[in-house]
Structure 1
């Protein structure tokens, strides 16, 4: 009998690099047993050791699931070049590759696999669920449609101008110029305030990612600027009215912020074709409260545990 966590690496046939992951096992784990499994997807600029892994994956393992949290391609300990690329299509494919790994494990019941994602990971796992029927139920925790965010706030509400700049930068890099890497966040909350930042999401993200509260070596909070064009033309919720039929749980806080989880959560709940869908709006709760603050995350975990218990 063994329990705890295991570091793993895996890839699909034809893939040129490995993905790095951590498998969280339930207490009393029996390698000869058969367990439902969950794939946990980290936010934009995050990694497997942060909220998706050390909060939500850990909690679902404690509830009896085998949970695989992993680093996205080009990020954290996973492979892929160039580094620090945030490509939504690849992020969705990574989820499918993670499931490919889960279904090879003798103790995983391939007919009982779920997905959970936080922030951008919530949007990615919803998108993956629409085209991978191996995912039987999906939970989005303060999920964000990164395509919508990239067209709006992340491009200063001028996506064409942003795309022109990205194109020029990519041409420069193809001709030998050093890659431009931008940090999504200011160096500190105080630096952000001094620069005129007043958005709750931006400031609370900085408090999480730039301090001991949530900081981890793999959580770079930065991206290669010339490759961000991939997100501008992408939509996490495309064709949800037809394709998102699996059971869906959406958890959001009622405090809206610039990253848009509140509006995205309301939107996907309304659009999803799922006959069994739930929307949990937590009062007096912000986007980053749902990363690690005990009271709201406990409520989100309780809802997710009950939800997966009904569908896996």
Structure 2
């Protein structure tokens, strides 16, 4: 099987470690099926709580988790943060980790599964079009702005990996977001078009032809064709050329597997994905902007490109976590702590 059948799908990863090494998280052992370290296991009065909610977005049922801070009182006013998950990810993984940590800092937060993905509705399954993902972010803002206790003039946005790229696009036009942070931003369109680190430039037209043929088959009533359905062996994973993919497969297939999380997407989605670029129109962002990435991340070039183009962003900052890879910003305690310290400062200053 050619490499691009499964490589371009991975976005982000998170791992747990015990004294003896990597430790797989079991979603069945958590009542909310959360798979990140330190996840809530029960709602306790006076502490951060999680609320499983659903709402309609353009006729589709969206499944989301809302986190409320300790001693939450709906008669009071709180700032809120919308959290957008990585490509292939679900709300129970890294998006939930950061949503919970932000709630611990006093924010009402929301992490929702993208439409057509995870526990959210929409058919066919695993459509992965940028317009849908951007609309998901607008929809989370719609919902959380009406949530009891939320002060809708103080809403921030955090996008993780692929969710970071879509958050940049959403914030370009949606000025309900007073400030925007990204963590290990991944420009899905650029990677689907050019390959990771621009490694597939020679196959662009071939892949567009595949996507076009898949769309034609769908239109004719045929079966949907899916990209990235292959599950590589451990040996194949070890030979992958990039840290992001090697570490990512370990996360999604092993240490933090969740049944609603999948790398696959409809091949026809590439017609939209390959025509998308998260780094365009960055001059439309006038809000405060924080972009966080690991200094050793092989995806860093995407954050640097978008950051440079954000010429009108207020108080913009590029914060590098020294020594971290893309994946390690999601799980390694000292890196998560650094990211949270910076986000707490950033949202504290911009969502006053």
TM-score band (shorter)?
A: over 0.9
- Tell me whether 1:52 sits opposite 2:100 in the alignment: no
The secondary structure found in structure 2 opposite 1:18 is: strand
Residue matched to 2:282: 240
Distance 1:153 1:184 in 2: 17
CA drift at 1:6? 0.4
The secondary structure found in structure 1 opposite 2:221 is: coil
Distance 2:144 2:76 in 1: 14
Supply the RMSD in Å over aligned alpha carbons.
1.6
Distance 1:202 1:128 in 2: 26
| Structure-to-structure mapping, 1:97-136, within 5 angstroms | 97-136=139-178
Distance 1:170 1:49 in 2: 31
The secondary structure found in structure 1 opposite 2:91 is: coil
CA drift at 1:188? 4.4
1:152-172 CA-partner distances (Å, limit 9, x unpaired): 116932322211111112212
Residue matched to 1:32: 75
Residue matched to 1:92: 134
Q: Is the CA contact (8 Å cut-off) linking 1:35 and 1:65 kept in structure 2?
A: yes
Q: Is the CA contact (8 Å cut-off) linking 1:19 and 1:70 kept in structure 2?
A: yes
Which of 158, 167, 172 lines up with 2:217 in the alignment?
172
CA drift at 1:232? 0.5
| Structure-to-structure mapping, 1:214-225, within 5 angstroms | 214-225=256-267
Q: Is the CA contact (8 Å cut-off) linking 1:248 and 1:276 kept in structure 2?
A: yes
Count residues in correspondence.
Answer: 302
Distance 2:187 2:131 in 1: 13
Residue matched to 1:17: 60
With 96-105 and 147-156 compared, the bigger mean Cα shift is at: 147-156
Residue matched to 2:253: 210
**Structure 2 unaligned spans of 5+:** 1-44
Distance 1:90 1:294 in 2: 32
| TM-score of the pair, normalised by structure 1 | 0.92
| TM-score of the pair, normalised by structure 2 | 0.82
Shift of the 299–184 alpha-carbon distance from structure 1 to 2, 3 Å rule, reads farther
**Structure 1 unaligned spans of 5+:** none
Q: Is the CA contact (8 Å cut-off) linking 1:186 and 1:192 kept in structure 2?
A: no
Q: Is the CA contact (8 Å cut-off) linking 1:38 and 1:68 kept in structure 2?
A: yes
Residue matched to 2:317: 278
Following TM superposition, the consecutive aligned residue runs of length 4 or more in structure 1 with deviations greater than 3 angstroms are 184-189
Distance 1:283 1:266 in 2: 15
- Tell me whether 1:190 sits opposite 2:235 in the alignment: yes
Distance 1:168 1:185 in 2: 20
The secondary structure found in structure 2 opposite 1:110 is: strand
The secondary structure found in structure 1 opposite 2:60 is: coil
